[in-house]
Amino acid sequence: MRWANTRVVVTGGAGFLGSFVVEALHARGCREISVPRSRDYDLRESDDIARLYDRTRPQVVVHLAAVVGGIGANRANPGRFFYDNAIMGLQLMEYARRLGVEKFIAVGTVCAYPKVTPVPFKEEDLWNGYPEDTNAPYGLAKKMLLVQAQAYRAQYGFNAIHLLPVNLYGPRDNFDLESSHVIPAMIRKFLAAKERGEPSVVLWGDGSPTREFLHVEDAAEAIALATERYDGSEPVNLGSGEEISIRELAELIAAEVGFRGEIVWDTTQPNGQPRRRLDVSRAERLFGFRAKHPFRDGVRQTVDWFVEHRAALAEAALIEAGPTP
């Protein structure tokens, strides 16, 4: 791919993952990257999508925009998470096909996998059951983009690929407790408890589920590599291939922020999917991706970033104001 002469649209390009993807493309020499903002384009509306494509005339579309959140946000907004994510992706891909876009990269989610999937999760197991209940609407909405990509390739010869990243983390993550995922939520809770001198922190579930995490910079590199090198119909996992229990994760983050109190597990709240670890061999084989960031180093980097930027985030109302360091 001749990046210098390629026009690219990155939906969600101002967000957590998207900002790193834009940087990865810039580093490859891509000069014409358009990042639609929600104040200018509502990607749930077909007229706005048509207007975006008419203005930018993209050759490549990387679709990252999504309505996302942790277990609590998914339980509170199942209808919104299904509709908004499905309608955005379906229309973006359809209008890209009509316009003759050369390549469409749909970024899905590990939440599309069945609740009970043999570990490590292999791409061929994707259709062997229903997703975990708490995030099934979101996971299924994203999963439909895989069906669309394969159907469009079969009927129209449209070059759409589908990537399945595991849980992401790193600098610039969403630290709003109402919608954040597990790592930023834990960082905020433990840091606040330490600064307020609280004796304990309450976390959901019993700590037994396991999760795999991928540093956001690794995820961005994987997406850039797939855009350059992969043109197949089969979905591809993006992950580190390593697994950690939620209990071990909590102890790690507590130690990183210096919280020495008790961790209390609220077993009246759901655990979510029992285990998550991906088979990541397909990504390495097809486009040479392997994660590079050691997990403990990445968690420390994320903690440091939040401590440094907390005041600015509060001022921008991206998080509520809390204790200052």
Report the share of the chain in percent with pLDDT over 90: 86
In a domain, residue 325? The reply is no
Nearest to 143 by CA among 124, 126, 129, 168: 126
Structure tokens at 317: 């109302």
Residue 32 DSSP SS3: strand
In a domain, residue 57? The reply is yes
| CATH value at residue 228 | 3.40.50.720
What pTM did the predictor assign?
A: 0.93
Give me the pLDDT at residue 325, please. Answer: 36
In a domain, residue 159? The reply is yes
In a domain, residue 151? The reply is yes
Nearest to 260 by CA among 174, 171, 199: 199
Q: Name the catalytic one among 53, 138, 169, 230.
A: 138
Bridge partners of residue 60, in order along the sequence: 8, 103
Give me the pLDDT at residue 1, please. Answer: 77
Q: CA neighbours within 13 Å on the CB side: how many for 302? A: 31
**What is the domain count for the chain?**
1
The question of whether 138 is a catalytic residue gets the answer yes
Rounded to whole angstroms, the maximal C-alpha distance in the chain is 62
Containing structural domain, residue 302: 3-315
Let me know: does 62 contact 105? Beta carbons within 8 Å: yes
Question: What is the tens place of the pLDDT at every residue in 121-167?
Answer: 999 999 999 999 988 999 999 999 999 999 999 999 999 999 999 99
In a domain, residue 322? The reply is no
Inter-axis angle of helices 46-56 and 78-99, nearest 10: 40
Distance CA 114, CA 104 (A): 25
Distance CA 283, CA 222 (A): 8
Distance CA 236, CA 143 (A): 12
Distance CA 315, CA 228 (A): 39
In a domain, residue 284? The reply is yes
Residue 228, Cβ density class (10 Å: 0-12 exposed, 13-18 middle, ≥19 buried): middle
Structure tokens at 282: 């397909």
Question: What is the tens place of the pLDDT at every residue in 271-304?
Answer: 888 899 999 999 999 999 999 999 999 999 999 9
In a domain, residue 192? The reply is yes
44-70: average pLDDT: 95
In a domain, residue 324? The reply is no
Give me the pLDDT at residue 320, please. Answer: 60
Bridge partners of residue 97, in order along the sequence: none
